[in-house]
Amino acid sequence: MIPLFEYYPALEDKLPYVKLGKLPTPVHTLEILGRKTGINSLYIKRDDLTGENYGGNKLRKLEFLLGEVLHSRAGEVITFGAAGSNHALATAFYSASLGLKSISMLVHQPNAWYVRNNLLMSLFCGAELHLYHKMPVKNLLVNPAVLFQLFRHRTKRGRFPRVIPMGGSSPRGVLGFVNAAFELKQQIMKGEIKEPDYLYVASGSMGTAAGLILGLKAAECKTKVVAVRVIDLKYVNEKAMINLISKTAIWLSSLDRSFPGTAISVRDFEIRHDFFGHQYALFSKKGMDAVRRLESDERIRLEGAYTGKAMAALLEDAQKQKINTKTVLFWNTYNSRDFSNSIAGTDYHRLPGGFHRYFEQPVQPLDY
């Protein structure tokens, strides 16, 4: 049974869930990096390994989101993101594994190798891809392009596709990381890791950090989540974080009255705004230095849009002697499963024309 249902058995009957991955993910010590940075105890949570064939943080959200889709008997899902969205790919990958069709509505972003790979892999998974120049992320359901796709698919299928928001960060998706917090609690109790003082994680649609903040508080852990913002301030900010956490908490307490209704305040977490750089998915010098450091010291591959920026925040705090006597956990959210064999034979010309530029134009200068 998953940790969330062990702690709150009443939830099991009320929350559809489909197991997609191999949980719990291991926690490892970052021995060399810890020694070099002078951090007393430095750990990494290996959510890069959530899935056997495709990992990363989105799988945890999709266990609840796609669980609900199966329960609803809708045969299709529609989701949103940037052209190289890891979330859109994870949705395509795990929908296909469950026999569901997925539709991704994507917008432009800076070019990178991972964008090419993710697009080809989404195609390989049978996803239907659409590219748009602009898409207001709020109020998706009043967006004409979204309405058009919803009705087009209903006409073909007789049913609306199920809507999964950007990044999977609805309260239902957030449950994946409330569960992850209880998973960590169990690993602490088993002695696999000391209770962290700080947990560093990249934050884009906020669901990952929101679930961890709420779950760690409910599990009575002292761990402070440091959410490193990698997207515009209007999407990740203190007020929006509290809002998402509160919505999830109120919903959970309504399903199981033993879930603590504790209010979350800005003192319960920290958002770091100084590692974003200039644009979403535009790699930064500090971020890429952090990527290279983890690669050379620990042989773990991060990337420039999310995890490199989060690791850069951790390294700078270590350099400023802010966390050296502490127990620190880095939450790795980036898939590390190699899918290059699957996409080796996939021709980008099979993608809608708008996507071809990602294969014909150079990747951004800091990518490698």
* Residue closer to ligand PLP (CB basis): 86 or 327: 86
* Residue closer to ligand PLP (CB basis): 74 or 214: 214
Interface with ligand PLP, residue 248, by CB under 6 A: no
Angle at 101 between CA 99 and CA 103, to 5 degrees: 155
Interface with ligand PLP, residue 87, by CB under 6 A: yes
Of residues 324 through 343, those in contact with ligand PLP by CB under 6 A are 333-334
DSSP E strands in the chain: the ranges are 27-29, 41-46, 76-82, 101-107, 128-132, 162-163, 198-203, 224-229, 269-272, 327-332
* Residue closer to ligand PLP (CB basis): 74 or 180: 180
Regarding beta strands 41-46 and 327-332, do their DSSP bridges make them parallel or antiparallel, or are they unpaired?
parallel
Number of helices (H), then strands (E), belonging to the chain: the values are 13, 10
Could you tell me how many residues of this chain bind ligand PLP (CB under 6 A)? Answer: 18
Look up residue 1 and give its DSSP letter: -
Query: In what order do the strands lie in the sheet containing 41-46?
Result: 27-29, 41-46, 327-332, 198-203, 224-229, 269-272
Q: If we measure between CA atoms, which residue out of 165, 268, 173, 164 comes closest to residue 216?
A: 268
CA distance 321 to 342: 44
Q: Provide, rounded to whole angstroms, the least separation between the CB of residue 30 and ligand PLP.
A: 18
Look up residue 263 and give its DSSP letter: P
Interface with ligand PLP, residue 54, by CB under 6 A: no
Which of 25, 50, 57, 102 forms a contact with ligand PLP (CB under 6 A)? 57
Q: Provide, rounded to whole angstroms, the least separation between the CB of residue 295 and ligand PLP.
A: 15
| DSSP conformation letters of 78-125 | EEEEETT-HHHHHHHHHHHHTT-EEEEEEE-----HHHHHHHHHHHHT
Cβ–Cβ < 8 Å for 292, 307: no
Q: If we measure between CA atoms, which residue out of 308, 58, 310, 276 comes closest to residue 167?
A: 58
* Residue closer to ligand PLP (CB basis): 74 or 212: 212
Plot region of 126 (φ>0 → left; ψ -120 to 50 → alpha; else → beta): left
* Residue closer to ligand PLP (CB basis): 79 or 169: 169
Q: Which two tokens stand for residue 126?
A: 């049978």
* Residue closer to ligand PLP (CB basis): 54 or 153: 54
Which of 3, 56, 110, 215 forms a contact with ligand PLP (CB under 6 A)? 56
Q: Provide, rounded to whole angstroms, the least separation between the CB of residue 73 and ligand PLP.
A: 27
* Residue closer to ligand PLP (CB basis): 104 or 208: 208
Count how many residues are written for the chain: 368
Q: Provide, rounded to whole angstroms, the least separation between the CB of residue 306 and ligand PLP.
A: 3
Interface with ligand PLP, residue 307, by CB under 6 A: yes
Site string for ligand PLP, 164-183 (x = CB under 6 A): ---x-x--------------
Interface with ligand PLP, residue 306, by CB under 6 A: yes
* Residue closer to ligand PLP (CB basis): 58 or 153: 58
Cβ–Cβ < 8 Å for 275, 229: yes
Could you tell me which residues come within 8 angstroms of residue 16 by beta carbon, excluding any fewer than 6 positions away? 64, 67, 68, 70, 71
* Residue closer to ligand PLP (CB basis): 24 or 167: 167
Of residues 125 through 164, those in contact with ligand PLP by CB under 6 A are none
Site string for ligand PLP, 11-50 (x = CB under 6 A): ----------------------------------------
* Residue closer to ligand PLP (CB basis): 248 or 307: 307
Q: Which amino acid is at 41?
A: S
Site string for ligand PLP, 191-230 (x = CB under 6 A): -----------xxxxxxxx---------------------
Which of 25, 50, 79, 86 forms a contact with ligand PLP (CB under 6 A)? 86
Summarize as ranges the residues that interact with ligand PLP (CB under 6 A). 56-57, 86-87, 167, 169, 202-209, 306-307, 333-334
